Structure formats: C-alpha cells, structure tokens
C-alpha cells in the first residue's frame, strides 16, 4: 500500500484548490465512518494519495434557515441533525432517519455529506431527502453546481459528483405547513443495523381531502435511490380511501420488482414493501369517514 | 425433601438484589460470605481499563504473525510459493507444515498447518511473521498457494451419502469417531403401540458464533529463564494448550508455560482456535527465537473462532389421548466440520437430555457426529442443549396441541418429579435432587398470567380471516410461549470432573487462591473467594488470587461444563477447610480450650468460631485471637504450614457407555421460561418483550453475578432464537462481521424477570451447582412456541428471522 498523506485545510476554497490539483488522487474524509473501514480493508480507490480532512472546516458546519430554504452544511453530523429544532419542525422524517443510524458514536462522527457521497444503497438519510426534494450543492474551481438529489445518484455507490467537486450543502424548500412526513426503517436489531427496507413519504391534502402533494421513496430496495413517481401520480389529485392506498401500495411493490427483476430476496421484499408503503400512506393521509348509510 | 427457597430477582426493577436474598434466606442457614453479592475481585481493574487483555501484550522485539487461510473447502496443496511474501520489507519468517518440529496432528485431528490437503475454508496453510502487523498482512496476502480442488462434502446429507468423499481418508466413512451415543430405555415399539397420537418432526439449528467482544490473541516467546517457551493469551483452557503445543513442538509439557491473560468473553469458544494459533506462533518463535504475537481480526475470528454445532434432529413421539407421553424416539446428527475436539462429549451430554425433562417410559436416542468440509463446531455455552431443547420443547408444544391440552397442563402432567427415573436409569433421589420442575413451571406461568394470555392469543390465531391482517394492519400480534429444561451439572460421564486449588494464608492473615478454574468474565474468582471466606471467616478484601499459569496453578482439566463452581469450588472449600483445621489446632492451644472432636460442617456447633477475621471460642467470644496474629504465630513459632491443596472429584458415575445406562451426572439443575413476544405480521419482525425465567440452581454463591450470567445467557438465547445466522454458502462464511452477523445489542434487551430457587443439594459447595450455561437453552424454544401462539404457525428451524417468520422458510 502506498503511504497516504493527510491534509487538514481550514476553508472550503483551500479544499477546492487541493482536490482540483489532485483530482482522483484526493479523497475527502469527514466523519471517517466509511473511509476508515475502507482503509483498514484496503478498499480505498487505487489512486488515492491524499486524504483531505474536512471535518474542521467551520463553513461546513451547521443548519440554517434562508427564507424558504433549509440549508444543511455537508459536515453536519447525524447527531446534530437528529437534535436540531429547525429540522424537527420542518423535516421530522429526516431527524427520524438520522436517529436510526448506527450507534451514538457513529452518529456523533458521521455526516450528512458523507452519507450521500458514499451513496450506499441502504443510506438512511437518502429516502427522506428524496421526499423533501433536496438539492445538492457542489462547489469546484469552476463555480457552483446545484443538482436535484435524484440526479445526484447515478448508480449503486455512484454519484454525479466530479472529482474536483466538494459537496458543501444539502438544502430543501420548506414543505407546505400542513404536509406530513414519514420515515420507517426495518432493522434486524435495534441498534447498529443496516436497513432491511426503509421508506420515506411526504403528503399534503387540501381542505376537501384531495391529495395535493405526494412523494414516496423506499430505501434499500433499488440499486440507486428513487422516487416512485407512478405511485405519486396515482395518488395526487384524488381523495384517499383504503382501496386507493392498497392499490398504491401494490404499485410500489410492482415498481420495485420491475426495476430489480425477481431476485432471491423478492419473495420477502415484495409483500413487505407493499405493507410498509400502505402503512406509510395510511399514516400521512387522512381518510375521510364515509357517512354511515342507515 | 429439602426445603426450596424462592428468591425473586427482577433485573429491571430491583437493583439491590443481594439484599433481597439476605432477607429471604431460610433462618436455619446463615452465611457469612456465600450467598451475598460482593463486588467482583477483578472488577475495579476491569471497569477502569487497567486490566491487560490478550491484544495488550507487548514484548521486546516481538514480531507479528498472520495466517494464510485456505479459500477452498477441499483441495490438495500442490505448491506454496513464499517468494513474493519474502520480498515485503519487514518480513521475518514463514512456516508451513514442513516446519512443525513435533506432531502435526493435535487433539481432534487439528493440524498446526495443513500438510497434504486443506479441509475447510479457513484451514491454515502457512503462517507469516513480520516486524509489523501491516507488513505481515501484506506478506500473507502475497503467499501463492497452488491447489488442486477436490470434491467436498458441505452438509451432513452430502457427508452421509454412499460413496461420499471422506474428510479423513483413514476412516471408513464421515462419522466422527466415538461420537455416536445411544440412550435406550424400555421398548419404544411397545410405547408407540400404547399411543393414540404419534407425531414425527424434524428440527434444524445452524452454526452460531460465540461473538465474544474480544477476538483471539496470543503471544509466544522463548522462556527468558529456562528451557522452553511461554504462551500468553486469551486462553480458556491453558492445560489443553500446553499439552497440544508441547506435542507440536516435540517437547515435554513442562517446557511449555501457559499464562492466561484477562479474557473478553469465551463461552467455550477460545479453545481450538487459540490452540492452533499458539501452536503456529510457537513454531515461529522456535524458528526465530523472538516473541511472536498473533491477534485475530474480527473477520478471522469469525472464520476460525468458536461456533455452536448445527443439529439436525428427527423426532417421533407418542402420547395417549389424555396427554401422557408413552414413547420418544430420536435420531440426531451434529455437524462437526473438518476437525473435531467436541462431538464425542457434546453428543454424550445430548444423549442424556434428548428426551427432555419428562417422565417417558420408552426412549430411544441415537446421536451422531459427522465430519464435513466446513468450519468446525466448538463448545459454546449449552453444549448440545440449545439445539436439543429447541427441538424437544417445540415438539412437546406440538404434542400438547395435538392432545388438545395447553402447554402448561401438558408439561405438568409429564414433567420429572422427585423420585422419577430418567432415561439413563438414574433416579432423582429426592434427598439429593429435589426436582422441583413442577413448582418452577407454576411460578413462571403464574407470574406471567400464562394460561389466560395463551388462550386468548390462541383463539385469535385460529379465527378465520386472521391471516388477512397480514397485509395492512400495523397491529402487532402478541404471543406467549413456555419451555422447560433440566441440565446435568458439571462433566458427569463426559470425563473425570476433578477440580483443584491451592490456598495460602500469608503470615499477615491475608489469603491467596490458586485455582485450576479460569476466569473469563463469569466471576469464578469472586465466587471461589466467597467460598474460602465462608470457611475461614476472612473478609473478602483480604482475598486475592494468582493468575492462571500452568507453572503455578494445578492441572485439573478445562474450565467448561459450568464446572468451576461444582468441582472447582469444592476444591477451594476443601483446601480452606484444611487451613482452618490447622489454624484451629494452634488456636485451641493459644486460647486454652479443648478441641471439638467433630469440627465439621455443622455450622455453629464448633468450639471455635471463625468470623470477621478473628477466631474465638463459641462459648466465650471475648476469648479471641485475630487471624493476623494467629497466622503469624503459625508461621513464625509453630511451623504450621498454611498452604493447602484441595482436590475434589464428584462421586464416580456408574455409567455404561455402550447403552448410556447409569448415573449420568452427580446432580441436575432445573429451569423454565416464558417468552412474551409481539410479531409484526406485515414484516415478520419478532420483538421479544419479556422473558420470565426460573432456575433451580442449588445455591447462588453471588446472586448479582448469577443474575448477570443468566441475563447474558438469555440475551445469547434471544440472538440464537431470532437473529443469529451464519451463512456458509459453498462452505465459505459470508457473515464475517457484525454488520452481517446479527448479535443482539443492549437495545434489544427485553424486560428480564429471573426467579432463583435455592435448595440444599449436597453435591456442590454450599449446594451450588453452577449456572454458567442453563440460562441460554430455554429462550429460543420459548420464542418459537410464542410465535406459534401468536400465529398458529410452527417454525422448526432457527433463527426465526424476518424471512422465516413471514414466509415460513429461509430465502436461501
């Protein structure tokens, strides 16, 4: 193994200058919860020569409100996300996802930027960010690029980030005030467990009960994170009832199978995703009581 | 019959358990040191991080060794090319089978390093040493081994097929030597002819990893003071290591000194793997004359560390319509893996208990061990019981259902009672073994409201349409399940169960214990100290211990089979009594009284009292001498030796190994548990809400430690029941770390309510029988029975993970 150098810059512009120069030979490290394991397992990218420690850059810390936007700096830890009052108000589903990650030690170290740049299939914060329609801010020497989160993920553990770009921020528009969010993670044990399946959803209903907004994103079931648009389209503009929810849940499972094909795990995942989708929708949608016919 | 004392222990609600025991103690028995929750002797060092574990060893000029493991299940080794490895900067030495100076076949056919062929994925082919661990890892990865792959048998079924490749070609087939044990009593055909209902069922359990927090570590170095080597490490059984390494080096045993470091958990597992590691490091140390250290990574520990044997059990059981069991017949296969150090003992224990804690007139048990080209089974807490109790207790529930009796009623009708005879022909003598299983079953079921809950869930589960709940409802289904067990204490007929200890009362009146039992977190040092303190009336803060060191402590076999208390504790007691007698002989002269002609265990009847670090006349407590003065007097003026050895062997068991008939164990423990679960019918997720368990353990020497042992066991049983699964597809272990191998964590801990039943069994010291293992075996079957109660469906394979609970079968 080649000896690795480590650099600890203090500003974003320093990081950008370095990663621009080193290209694929530089690797940014923040919480180190993924990089250290890769290092130990000798699984770092072949070309890596320089680790750029971005964990001490003040500009990469914190959560703030900017008019209609909530901006999360990429170096914000899962613990901070879990406990942030602003996020608890505007995006409780994201706080719930952060709370479900690993153990307190991992949450104290791991960052939101790291979670999305690693782009693991089972990353816990991604489904909520998908339903929040988050945007990823990438900064390089050439300027700033803002990508919708769906365009950011291009495949399993693959993203649209270029080697000379640093993810500095994840941001999203505040959901409508009466929108309801949901996150559930199915795990084999209560801590330090990857998601077997997770699901995030966000919905808004107009006063007459019509679904005016619906977003749905299951995690750990498709090679790259996705919104399940056909399900959303099925529901939007309609008034929910048990039947519609069952139909939407069935469609959710169907879409998963259409993407992945029938695999060894499909006999389990298909019915369970249907159940979890139905539960998510039931939780966030208000079904109007049918008047009793005497 | 001896009185039974029940002590309530609720781990969640009563932090002050020790006190509870005291207040409940029977008035006729009063203890000074035993039966109290003293802090652990080694507790301060452990909680403050001062204690040195295996990986902490560091020796001047030490080199680091790393294994080269086989990637194939069965292959001939054609060539081992070390040339690239030797070019790595820091490379120091390498060893292959050709470098082993002595015997390359250790106990159980384990080679130090594979010579002709590899027999499982993980078999050691070579070992590399380098100046740093990193260099050794790199060099090991560059060793090029050329194999010619051979056909492998990866399952018991494949291994037993006619013309199957043999794991050990010198044997006739793949049956493990001496591993077939029989237990025949009565005539099962007669029994089945009397039965109205006969069930035939198969139960399967897989490998399970001991998962100790600390992976294995050893260091081997040339003895600085004499001819030979020293081995330090995370070793459960130092005498086994000494014997095997001496043979591998071709030296006498006294040239090998084994010192045990503190151990971060073992549960039976740090045995074969550390023997192999120590032998490999010893070969390198002999070759280089330098200290050689080997620490396994978690992945390596997963590959070669301790695993419970998979069991494949076929049962047939019959009962009359009124719910009386008439016969049981079972054939059980234990998958032993490539090498075997355990199956002959494991299966013997299994054969005694395979029919469960029930009175069954006609029994026929056959248990076999089978070699396969897979990782090997080791001892792991329970030693056949977790596998068989799952099978039997599931079966009993199924039979109860078939007889239309509830699980409690059926068990009460059939369970062993004082005076009953078990299949080996041994009678549960009410004086020696007050089998209070009935009382225990009633206690756990009363406490949980079992009958009512069981009926309500059962009625719901058989309602038509209940399965439709599966789709949408987030409603959890609740279930409650019962299980019962009995367990032979100590080794019994497995082997000679001798324990040994040396006690020394120093001239200042402080005591040291050299025990043959090893400490691995179970608290044996503290328990032994309490036993010695009880005899000598010495305060606990005056007691210390020697580390386990084969050049200091006595060879009395391995610390296994929950025998540290039964035989080890009795040895301590005997040695302490010898010292007490010698002290008494001096004290009677000093205090000027006549000696009681019968100074023995009739507490309170002696002329002399030993209490509070003082010896005094019972009749006249003011006439006293401090232990310090007395010890000084013996040392300085009287030449009375205050070092004494204690050896203890339980009564010889009259046992015919050909038929399994005779006295199998000196005494038995009894237990029953209730599991309360909820099941998410949409995902198959089982949440264990509460475990209520009762155990008859003779006596709790240290109630807090007992509760700790039992709670840990219960958690391991929970993991075995619903989470832990080793994936060995094509013989290759897929579950190498805790991201894949699901060990329960602290957040998975249910409410645990433990009831302890104490009896005055006269086999162990102060009645104590040993509690290290019995906690684990009741949990998986109680959960499986609760799952049936919740759903009406029966799962006969462990673990009951999401997939099995939802679909009834594993995904692959």
Do B432 and B548 fall into the same domain?
no
Out of A191, A245, A282, whose CB is closest to B747?
Answer: A191
Quick check: is B594 in a domain?
yes
Q: What is the mean pLDDT of chain A?
A: 95
**pLDDT of amino acid A238:** 97
Q: What is the mean pLDDT of chain B?
A: 92
Q: How far apart are CA B486 and CA B437, in angstroms?
A: 8
Q: Which residues pair with B64 in a beta bridge?
A: B130, B293
Indicate whether B273 pLDDT > 50: yes
Best mutation target among A102, A218, A241, A268 (most B Cβ atoms within 10 Å) is A268
pTM of the model: 0.95
Indicate whether B194 pLDDT > 70: yes
**pLDDT of amino acid B465:** 62
* Residues of A with Cβ-Cβ distance to B809 under 8 angstroms: none
DSSP letters for B268-286? T-TTHHHHHHHHHHHHHHH
Quick check: is B374 in a domain?
no
Q: What is the pLDDT of residues B522-534, one digit of tens each?
A: 999 999 999 999 9
Indicate whether B18 pLDDT > 80: no
- Nearest CA among B479, B621, B420, B474 for reference residue B537: B621
Indicate whether B185 pLDDT > 60: yes
Q: Is B89 exposed, middle or buried (0-12, 13-18, 19+ CB in 10 A)?
A: exposed
Mean pLDDT of B408-419: 97
Q: What is the pLDDT of residues B321-345, one digit of tens each?
A: 999 999 999 999 999 999 999 999 9
Q: How far apart are CA A15 and CA B804, in angstroms?
A: 50
Contact across the interface for A264 and B812, Cβ inside 8 Å: yes
* Residues of B with Cβ-Cβ distance to A245 under 8 angstroms: 472
Do B600 and B713 fall into the same domain?
no
**pLDDT of amino acid B618:** 86
Quick check: is B356 in a domain?
no
**What distance in Å separates residue A53's CA from the closest CA in chain B?**
23
Contact across the interface for A272 and B684, Cβ inside 8 Å: yes
**What distance in Å separates residue B342's CA from the closest CA in chain A?**
31
DSSP 8-state assignment for residue B377 = P
Query: pLDDT over 70 for what percent of chain B?
Result: 93
Indicate whether A281 pLDDT > 70: yes
**What distance in Å separates residue A272's CA from the closest CA in chain B?**
5
Quick check: is B659 in a domain?
no
* Residues of B with Cβ-Cβ distance to A279 under 8 angstroms: 472, 474, 682
Strand B311-319 with B197-205, pairing: antiparallel
**pLDDT of amino acid B17:** 34
Query: pLDDT over 70 for what percent of chain A?
Result: 98
> What three-state secondary structure class fits B513?
strand
Higher per-residue pLDDT: B557 or B541: B541
Residues 474-503 of B with CB under 8 A from A: 474
**B679 and chain A in contact, CB less than 8 A:** no
Strand B325-337 with B181-185, pairing: unpaired
Out of B138, B474, B683, whose CB is closest to A272?
Answer: B683
Quick check: is B340 in a domain?
no
Cβ atoms B303, B338 nearer than 8 A:
no
Indicate whether B652 pLDDT > 80: no
Q: How far apart are CA B522 and CA B568, in angstroms?
A: 13
Out of A190, A246, A279, whose CB is closest to B474?
Answer: A279
DSSP 8-state assignment for residue B567 = I
Q: How far apart are CA B256 and CA B204, in angstroms?
A: 42
Q: Is B590 exposed, middle or buried (0-12, 13-18, 19+ CB in 10 A)?
A: middle
**pLDDT of amino acid B585:** 93
Indicate whether B12 pLDDT > 70: no
Tell me which residue range forms the domain holding B617: 19-51+498-649
- Nearest CA among A254, A220, A218, A219 for reference residue A234: A254
Residue B354: band (very low, low, confident or very high) from pLDDT cuts 50, 70, 90: very high
Angle value at C-alpha B439, between B437 and B444, nearest 5 degrees? 95
DSSP 8-state assignment for residue B682 = T
Q: How far apart are CA B334 and CA B178, in angstroms?
A: 13
Do B418 and B503 fall into the same domain?
no
**pLDDT of amino acid A38:** 92
Quick check: is B601 in a domain?
yes
Do B712 and B727 fall into the same domain?
yes
Mean pLDDT of A159-187: 97
**What distance in Å separates residue B493's CA from the closest CA in chain A?**
39
Supply the ipTM of this predicted assembly: 0.94
Query: pLDDT over 90 for what percent of chain B?
Result: 85
Residues constituting chain B: 812
Residue A290: band (very low, low, confident or very high) from pLDDT cuts 50, 70, 90: low
What tokens does B459 get?
């009625």
Do B441 and B514 fall into the same domain?
no
Do B794 and B757 fall into the same domain?
yes
In B94-155, alpha helices (H): 133-141
Out of B604, B621, B649, a domain closes at B649
* Residues of B with Cβ-Cβ distance to A249 under 8 angstroms: 472
Contact across the interface for A188 and B801, Cβ inside 8 Å: yes
**pLDDT of amino acid B27:** 45
Mean pLDDT of A121-148: 97
Q: Measure the CA dihedral A102/A105/A111/A115, to 10°.
A: -20
Instruction: Provide the domain count of chain B.
Output: 2
**pLDDT of amino acid B10:** 43
Mean pLDDT of B392-409: 98
Name which of B291-300, B475-484, B507-516, B647-656 the model is least confident about: B647-656
Strand B63-69 with A153-155, pairing: unpaired
Contact across the interface for B802 and A267, Cβ inside 8 Å: no
Strand A5-7 with A50-53, pairing: parallel
**pLDDT of amino acid B603:** 46
Q: What is the pLDDT of residues B195-236, one digit of tens each?
A: 999 999 999 999 999 999 999 999 999 999 999 999 999 999
Quick check: is B790 in a domain?
yes
Indicate whether B601 pLDDT > 80: no
Indicate whether A2 pLDDT > 80: no
Q: What is the end-to-end Cα distance of chain A in Å, rounded?
A: 79
Residues 231-260 of A with CB under 8 A from B: 242, 245-246, 249
Do B739 and B768 fall into the same domain?
yes
CATH number of the domain residue B800 falls in = 3.30.365.10
Indicate whether B594 pLDDT > 80: no
**pLDDT of amino acid B595:** 54
Name which of A75-89, A254-268, B549-563 the model is least confident about: B549-563
Name which of B1-5, B137-141, B640-644 the model is least confident about: B1-5
Residue B72: band (very low, low, confident or very high) from pLDDT cuts 50, 70, 90: very high
Angle of helix B779-791 versus helix B450-462 axis, rounded to 10: 50
- Residue B560: C-alpha distances to residues B88, B528, B548 (Å): 42, 16, 15
Out of B620, B649, B678, a domain closes at B649
Contact across the interface for B806 and A246, Cβ inside 8 Å: no
* Residues of B with Cβ-Cβ distance to A246 under 8 angstroms: 471-472
Mean pLDDT of A265-277: 97
Quick check: is B39 in a domain?
yes
Q: What is the pLDDT of residues A24-60, one digit of tens each?
A: 999 999 999 999 999 988 899 999 999 999 999 999 9
Do B522 and B634 fall into the same domain?
yes
Name which of B25-29, B45-49, B379-383 the model is least confident about: B25-29
**pLDDT of amino acid A291:** 62
**A86 and chain B in contact, CB less than 8 A:** no
Mean pLDDT of A66-82: 98
What tokens does A128 get?
């909520």
**B748 and chain A in contact, CB less than 8 A:** yes
**pLDDT of amino acid B607:** 81
Closest residue, chain B, to A192 (C-alpha) = B739
Do B454 and B516 fall into the same domain?
no
* Residues of A with Cβ-Cβ distance to B801 under 8 angstroms: 188
Indicate whether B686 pLDDT > 60: yes
Residue B469: band (very low, low, confident or very high) from pLDDT cuts 50, 70, 90: very low
Do B685 and B797 fall into the same domain?
yes
Do B543 and B575 fall into the same domain?
yes
**pLDDT of amino acid B718:** 98
Best mutation target among A188, A194, A220, A243 (most B Cβ atoms within 10 Å) is A188
> Residue A64: which H helix or E strand, with range?
strand A63-66
What tokens does A96 get?
């719930």
What tokens does A203 get?
């919905």
**A278 and chain B in contact, CB less than 8 A:** yes
Do B463 and B564 fall into the same domain?
no
Out of B588, B620, B649, a domain closes at B649
**What distance in Å separates residue A286's CA from the closest CA in chain B?**
16
Indicate whether B286 pLDDT > 70: yes
**B729 and chain A in contact, CB less than 8 A:** no
Burial track B562-573 (b if 16+ CB lie within 10 A, e otherwise): bbbbbbbbbbbb
């Amino acid at each position: 193994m080649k000896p690795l150098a480590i650099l600890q810059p203090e500003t974003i512009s320093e990081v950008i200058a370095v990663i621009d120069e080193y290209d694929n030979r530089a690797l940014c490290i923040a919480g180190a919860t993924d990089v250290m394991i890769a290092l130990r397992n000798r699984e770092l990218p072949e070309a890596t020569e320089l680790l750029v420690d971005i964990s001490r850059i003040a500009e990469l810390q914190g959560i703030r409100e900017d008019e209609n936007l909530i901006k999360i700096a990429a170096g914000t830890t899962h613990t901070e996300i879990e406990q942030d009052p602003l996020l608890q108000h505007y995006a409780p589903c994201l706080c719930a996802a952060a709370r479900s990650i690993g153990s307190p030690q991992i949450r104290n170290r791991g960052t939101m930027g790291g979670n999305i740049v690693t782009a693991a299939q089972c990353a816990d914060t991604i489904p909520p960010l998908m339903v929040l329609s988050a945007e990823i801010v990438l900064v390089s020497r050439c300027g700033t690029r803002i990508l919708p989160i769906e365009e950011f993920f291009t495949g399993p553990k693959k993203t649209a980030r270029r080697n000379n770009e640093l993810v500095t921020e994840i941001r999203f528009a505040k959901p409508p005030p009466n929108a309801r969010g949901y996150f559930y993670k199915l795990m084999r044990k209560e801590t330090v467990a990857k998601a077997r399946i997770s699901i995030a959803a966000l919905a808004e209903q107009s006063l007459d009960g019509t679904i005016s907004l619906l977003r749905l994103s299951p995690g750990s079931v498709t090679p790259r994170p996705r919104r399940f648009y056909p399900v959303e389209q099925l529901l939007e503009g309609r008034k929910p009832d048990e039947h519609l929810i069952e139909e939407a849940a069935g469609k959710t499972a169907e879409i998963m199978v259409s993407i992945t094909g029938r695999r060894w795990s499909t006999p389990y995942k298909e019915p369970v995703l249907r159940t979890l989708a139905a539960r998510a929708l039931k939780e966030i949608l208000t079904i109007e009581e049918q008047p009793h016919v005497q | 019959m001896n009185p039974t004392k029940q002590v309530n222990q609720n781990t969640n609600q009563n932090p002050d358990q020790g006190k509870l025991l005291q207040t409940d103690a029977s008035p006729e028995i009063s203890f000074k040191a035993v039966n109290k929750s003293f802090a652990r002797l080694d507790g301060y060092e452990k909680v403050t991080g001062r204690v040195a574990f295996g990986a902490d060893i560091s020796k001047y000029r030490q080199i680091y060794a790393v294994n080269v493991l086989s990637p194939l299940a069965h292959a001939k080794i054609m060539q081992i090319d070390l040339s690239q490895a030797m070019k790595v900067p820091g490379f120091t030495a390498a060893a292959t089978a050709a470098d082993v100076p002595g015997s390359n076949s250790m106990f159980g056919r384990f080679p130090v390093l594979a010579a002709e062929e590899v027999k499982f994925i993980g078999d050691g082919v070579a070992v590399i040493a380098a100046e740093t661990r990193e260099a050794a890892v790199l060099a090991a990865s560059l060793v090029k081994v050329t194999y010619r792959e051979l056909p492998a048998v990866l399952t018991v079924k494949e291994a037993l097929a006619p013309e199957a490749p043999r794991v050990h070609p010198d044997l006739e087939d793949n049956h493990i030597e001496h591993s077939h044990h029989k237990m025949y009593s009565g005539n099962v055909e007669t029994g089945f002819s009397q039965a109205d209902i006969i069930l035939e069922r198969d139960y399967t359990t897989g490998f399970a990893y001991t998962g100790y927090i600390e992976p294995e570590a050893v260091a081997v170095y040339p003895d600085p003071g004499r001819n030979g080597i020293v081995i330090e490490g995370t070793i459960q059984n130092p005498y086994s290591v000494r014997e095997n390494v001496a043979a591998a080096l071709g030296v006498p045993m006294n040239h090998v000194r084994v010192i045990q470091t503190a151990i971060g958990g073992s549960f039976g597992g740090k045995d074969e793997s550390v023997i192999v590691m120590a032998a490999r490091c010893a070969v390198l140390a002999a070759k280089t004359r330098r200290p050689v250290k080997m620490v396994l990574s978690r992945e390596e520990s997963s590959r070669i560390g301790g695993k419970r044997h998979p069991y494949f059990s076929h049962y047939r059981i019959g009962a009359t319509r009124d719910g009386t069991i008439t016969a049981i017949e079972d054939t059980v296969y234990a998958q032993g893996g490539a090498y075997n150090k355990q199956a002959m003992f494991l299966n013997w224990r299994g054969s005694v208990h395979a029919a469960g804690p029930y009175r069954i007139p006609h029994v026929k048990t056959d248990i076999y061990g089978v070699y396969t080209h897979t990782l090997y089974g080791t001892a792991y807490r329970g030693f056949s019981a977790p596998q068989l109790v799952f099978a039997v207790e599931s079966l009993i529930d199924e039979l109860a259902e078939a007889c239309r009796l509830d699980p409690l009623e059926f068990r009460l009708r059939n369970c062993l009672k004082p005076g009953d005879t078990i299949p080996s022909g041994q009678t549960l003598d009410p004086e020696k073994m007050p089998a209070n299983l009935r009382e225990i079953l009633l206690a756990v079921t009363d406490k949980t409201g079992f009958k009512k809950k069981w009926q309500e869930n059962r009625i719901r589960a058989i309602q038509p349409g209940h399965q439709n709940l599966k789709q949408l409802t987030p409603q959890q289904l609740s279930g409650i399940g019962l299980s019962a067990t009995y367990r032979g204490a100590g080794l019994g007929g497995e082997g000679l169960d001798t324990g040994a200890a040396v006690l020394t009362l120093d001239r200042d009146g402080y005591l040291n214990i050299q025990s043959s039992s090893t400490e691995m977190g179970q608290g044996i040092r503290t328990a032994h100290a309490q036993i010695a303190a009880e005899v000598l009336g010495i305060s606990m803060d005056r007691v210390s211990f020697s580390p386990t060191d084969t050049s200091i402590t006595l060879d009395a076999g391995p610390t296994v089979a929950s025998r540290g208390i039964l035989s080890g504790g009795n040895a301590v007691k005997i040695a302490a009594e010898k010292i007490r007698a010698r002290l008494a002989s001096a004290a009677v002269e000093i205090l000027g009284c006549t000696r009681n002609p019968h100074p023995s265990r009739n507490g309170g009847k002696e002329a002399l009292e030993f209490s509070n670090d003082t010896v005094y006349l019972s009749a006249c407590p003011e006439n006293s001498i401090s232990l310090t003065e007395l010890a000084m007097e013996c040392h300085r003026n009287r030449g009375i030796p205050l070092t004494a050895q204690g050896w203890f062997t339980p009564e010889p068991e009259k046992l015919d190994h050909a038929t399994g008939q005779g006295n199998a164990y000196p005494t038995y423990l009894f237990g029953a548990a209730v599991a309360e679960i909820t099941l998410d019918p949409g995902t198959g997720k089982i949440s264990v809400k509460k475990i209520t368990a009762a155990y008859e353990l003779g006596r709790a020497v240290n109630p807090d430690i007992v509760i700790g042992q039992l709670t840990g066991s219960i958690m391991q049983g929970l993991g075995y029941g619903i989470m832990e699964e080793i994936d060995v597809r094509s013989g290759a272990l897929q579950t190498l770390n805790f991201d894949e191998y699901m060990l329960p964590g602290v957040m998975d801990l249910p409410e645990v309510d433990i009831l302890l039943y104490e009896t005055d069994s006269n086999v162990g010291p102060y009645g104590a029988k040993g509690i290290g293992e019995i906690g684990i075996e009741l949990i998986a079957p109680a959960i499986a029975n609760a799952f049936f109660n919740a759903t009406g469906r029966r799962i006969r394979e462990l673990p009951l993970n999401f997939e099995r609970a939802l679909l009834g079968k594993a995904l692959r």
